[in-house]
A = this chain, B = another copy of it.
């Protein structure tokens, strides 16, 4: 994706979510849009503070919470008690290796989950989070 294009996209996303377009928010969302992988709040903070604009820890957390509520980023926790983030692309699941901690995306077709879930008791299901755990190929070989 070209630079100008990303910039416009990020701006549009924020405007459509009715979030004020601050340099900090822009930086966080742009970083997540470009990032490969599943950065933690700390990594995000470190990365966007390498140059302009400065964002305090509180702001990074506030921003991530706002983006999450707006549905622009996904947040998930892996058992180590550290939240990770990714900008919303299409639905997919995650695999975590219990030996090396390696975290991988799992394409949705590898694990069929119903698109809509109906629950007894009238609960309204909004999201489905699926985490597969086990040994990655490399660690399996070593063991």
Task: Report which A residues bind B (CB closer than 8 A).
Answer: 75-79, 81, 83, 95, 97-98, 104, 106, 110-114, 117, 119-137, 140
Contact A123-B110, Cβ < 8 Å, known A77-B79, A130-B129, A130-B130: no
**A97 / chain B contacts, CB cutoff of 8 Å:** 123
Further contacts, 10 of them, CB under 8 A, given A75-B79, A124-B135: A81-B81, A95-B119, A95-B123, A104-B121, A110-B120, A111-B117, A123-B137, A127-B132, A127-B134, A130-B130
Question: Considering the chains assembled together, what is the distance between the CA atoms of A136 and B69 in angstroms?
Answer: 17
Asked if A133 and B140 make an inter-chain contact with CB atoms under 8 angstroms apart, the answer reads: no
Report the nearest B residue to A78, measured CB to CB.
B77
